[in-house]
A and B are shown apart, each in its own frame.
Chain A
Amino acid sequence: MNSAPILTVDNLKTYFFTDEGTVKAVDGASFAVQAGKTVGIVGESGCGKSVTALSILRIIQRPGRIIDGEILLRRVDGAGKSSEVDLARLDPEGGEIRAIRGGEIALVFQEPMTSFSPHYTIGNQIIETIQLHQDISKAEARNRSIELLRMVGIPRPERRIDEYPFELSGGLRQRVMIAMALSCNPRILIADEPTTALDVTTQAQILDLLREIQERTRMSVIIITHDMGVIAEMADDVIVMYLGRVVESGPVDEIFHQPKHPYTQALLRSIPSIFAEPRSKLPTIAGSIPHPHNRPSGCPFHPRCNERMAGLCDVYAPRLLPIGERQMASCFLYHEPEEAPQA
């Protein structure tokens, strides 16, 4: 399927201007989301995954700001004509982006414990979302909320709807969160570490739920995680991020079976395997993520890379370029440097 993507992020740069200096949380990320597909964004903590998600919704908090790039959301009207809106250009507090937030693009957050306000019932918070985007009465919105809760597998939803978030377990709360995100039939669901705070059995249930809902609604999903297992289970396409940049992207099979970028290879090596020799040491990636104020020159991964080429990787910055038909990587193992050294 070669139709135009529903969401295209191009050269997105989101910087945080702090007193200690500028943090380039997202520094030129590009990727596309196809309709009805799941894109997995993977990377270590601090690589800019969550900031990318918040940038798409334009809810980056000060001192952060999108300083460059495009976020194109494509819409198809009734006559089959498609139009695009650049989210990066919208007023972040304006009506247009607010209609998109929660309406066309919904977010499921990583903290099911704290992402609901403890002062209102879950019903209140779901009904509010529905009424923000749809012109229906409170009673109708309530019925719809109960239906949604039933759909995400909340037992006795007509009673649960009047409970407070702290009366629910973490797993149930994350289900409610998903119900709330789905309440306005979004075309894109961004799930930011949706299972990180949950125990393993609950994780599996939530992932099953997400996949089942996606099959039913044909919406696109962007799933953000540091867990390669989640990616393998959920994603059609994978984006590997490191220090605010996309270092590799491609279909999930290619990423897992022929990873090109040394960082992707290292990530895959560090997954525990049941076939491994007992008591053998789990391979790790040498070093740790550099401090955001101290970005390495050239390729940001070169200090930790075991295939780095002196005089090349530490001087020139690689670009994300195609390798093969559908895979892309930004690494000089596959491309010659084509630009002047970075200052």
Chain B
Amino acid sequence: MISTSPRSFLQTPPPPVNIFSSGDNSLLSPSSVRFRQSGNFTTAAAATYSTMPSNLVHTSPASFYEILGIPIGSTIQEIKAAYRRLARVCHPDVAAIDQKDTSADDFMKIHSAYSTLSDPDKRADYDRRLFRRRRSVNLYSGGYSTRNWETDQCW
């Protein structure tokens, strides 16, 4: 069994401006190294494709809940409904013409959030880390506390 390495990078396609841009950086932040998963898990490589300067690391890590636009305690039904609602807007097959270029990336982020939160084990694991990360970010970075749910969400 093989697996992904942690460092997502890829210098190829330039990141298009997209409504999820805030979500990219989280995967590169030092605290998010723990998010690495085994090979058949979509997060790492799916969401990042550009080399981010390390000074951007602490800006606005959008959680999977924020990506799906749901509260942390959501039920599995709410998670699935949110995923479908967003897929109906963001999937490249149905996205508005002017968003075709970015919709695949948006959809991949949504799917990656969904695939973690819809799996009870992965979600429990994620929740624990999210809690730890949130705490450390608030304690040490300072910058994060000025943000709130609303500014992290784009719909």
The answer on A and B forming one complex is no
